Copies of this chain bind each other. A is one copy, B any other.
Amino acid sequence: MAKQKPRTLSGFMELLPEQQVQFDRMMELLRRSYSLYGFTPLDTPIIEASEVLLAKGGGETEKQIYRFTKGDADLALRFDLTVPLAKYVALHYADLSFPFRRFQIGKVYRGERAQRGRFREFYQADIDVIGDGKLDIVNEAEIPAIIYNTFTALGLERFQIRVNDRKILNGFYAMLGLTDQAPDIMRTVDKLDKIGPDKVRELLVGEDIGLTGEAAGEILSVIAIKGSNQEVLTALEGYRGRNELFDQGLDELTTVVKYLAAFGVPEDHFAVDLTIARGLDYYTGTVYETAMLDHPEIGSICSGGRYDNLAEYYTDKQLPGVGISIGLTRLFYVLSEQGMLNGDMNTAPADALILPMTDDLSPAISFASQLRQAGVRAQLYTEQKKFKQKMSYADKTGIPYVVFLGEDEIARGVVSVKDMASGQQQTLPQAQAIALIQSGIATRANAAPIREPERS
């Protein structure tokens, strides 16, 4: 028969079993972390009607969208989890209780230019809190705690959550009479890390934006404000009283900072950063980015913010919210590239491999059933192979314990257990063997999927 060459599309992540276990463990920890903060899981279709998905229209994303027809239907694959959330909340409004807190971890699709580390199918892991009409600022203050505890649970240590408030930025530009130029200014200021202050000044006073040297200087001096969170807030207090929106933003940011300690976020994992702007019109209050301190080149690994109108394309209802998103597939790719996936995690398909040594397999099967009842993942190996090949199977897949059951063991009600890491083999009563394996796997079962490299 003529064969079709098997291949996976470029831009689509497909992992080998060991890495898949690590990826799944990350998703499990995200679900757990999000759940602890009272977010309920949500799942929405990957395919939506194009007119619904693209109600907002335009934008850079539209070119990348997977859109097609099936019969009469004009369909599209979701390109984020926010638009489906907006549709969901507008559609099911009457059945939901507000504030509605949901998390969603799912695949989204963007026809990006094929490039190493760029994915066309990728997981996003989002949380959002949606209010009905209003939403209290404390929800914005809680987000850094969720980011902090989530990444800490994953095993990441060297990261920093950076926070700003769009009201401060918009208020400040209004103060300078630059409201119309604000979007251009923010887009320019956003490049500060990449191009430096001199080049930013040049762009600000250039003909495209056309600020005076004085205005450019004021802007650069504000975004140059650095120091502890308290120092930054104090410096900003110097501008209070000149613009209402600015003052409101400063109050919000002060509240967010105030509750950090109560929320358990260490000061060194959090920074007020006046250069953070997060896009142009969607966000209206607190905005968040999360940087890996040793890998600034990666950009933000968890971003989001406060918005005033989740579903304005679908409903007249005012639905303000705050949310964050983790680009999980790209994060996993980066962690893998950086050697930051924890090699000590148990990624084997099973905890114990049972090798029956008798024709009648019933005793081996019974022992495997007992192990499973004790929560041990047990695999029965019954292929007709040489002993060496069986051991090699355990070795290659990383199964930590091999259990032998021969005539002699069965007669005595014992099993022989080999610890593959230490090479030690013991013959034990069945209950003791189960306890040995249980305690042996307990530590590694809870290992974090991310491991920071040793620092010299």
> Are A4 and B95 in contact, with the CB atoms below 8 A?
no
**Inside 8 A of A75's CB, which chain B residues have their CB?**
9, 66
Q: Which of B23, B41, B131, B316 contacts A21 (CB 8 A)?
A: B41
Chain A 1-44, CB within 8 Å of chain B: the 1/0 string? 10111111100111111001101100000000001111111111
Stretch touching chain B among A135-143, A174-182, A213-221: A135-143
Q: Identify which of A135, A379, A393 gathers the most chain B CB atoms within 10 Å of its CB.
A: A379
A92 and B261 alpha carbons, distance in the complex (Å): 49
> Are B4 and A314 in contact, with the CB atoms below 8 A?
yes
> Are A111 and B71 in contact, with the CB atoms below 8 A?
yes
Q: Which of B8, B45, B261, B353 contacts A45 (CB 8 A)?
A: B8
> Are B17 and A102 in contact, with the CB atoms below 8 A?
yes
> Are B43 and A20 in contact, with the CB atoms below 8 A?
yes
> Are B365 and A6 in contact, with the CB atoms below 8 A?
no
Which range contains the number of A residues in contact with the other chain?
35 or more
A282 and B331 alpha carbons, distance in the complex (Å): 40
> Are A314 and B349 in contact, with the CB atoms below 8 A?
no
Q: What is the minimal beta-carbon distance from A163 to any residue of chain B, in angstroms?
A: 17
**Inside 8 A of A45's CB, which chain B residues have their CB?**
8-9, 12-14, 121
This chain: copies in complex? 2
Using A6-B315, A42-B20, A47-B121 as known contacts, say yes or no to A14 and B379 having CB atoms under 8 A apart: no
Asked if A87 is at the interface of the complex by the 8 Å CB criterion, the answer is yes
Using A88-B14, A91-B6, A369-B262 as known contacts, say yes or no to A23 and B38 having CB atoms under 8 A apart: no
Chain A 357-394, CB within 8 Å of chain B: the 1/0 string? 00001110110010010011111101110000000010
Q: What is the minimal beta-carbon distance from A12 to any residue of chain B, in angstroms?
A: 4
**Inside 8 A of A35's CB, which chain B residues have their CB?**
377
A73-125 residues with Cβ-Cβ distance < 8 A to B are 73, 75, 86-88, 90-92, 95-97, 99, 101-102, 107, 109, 111, 120-121
Q: Identify which of A97, A134, A259, A313 gathers the most chain B CB atoms within 10 Å of its CB.
A: A97
> Are A378 and B92 in contact, with the CB atoms below 8 A?
no
A42 and B39 alpha carbons, distance in the complex (Å): 26
A396 and B96 alpha carbons, distance in the complex (Å): 9
What are some 16 contacts across the A-B interface (CB < 8 A)?
Answer: A5-B314, A6-B52, A8-B48, A20-B40, A36-B375, A38-B378, A39-B349, A46-B107, A101-B349, A134-B383, A136-B384, A138-B361, A142-B365, A259-B361, A262-B361, A264-B369
| Contacts A8-B44, A12-B45, A262-B362 known; 19 new A-B pairs at CB < 8 A | A1-B312, A3-B314, A4-B52, A5-B314, A6-B88, A7-B52, A8-B91, A23-B43, A37-B372, A37-B378, A47-B109, A68-B69, A97-B397, A134-B384, A136-B382, A138-B361, A142-B380, A149-B372, A264-B369
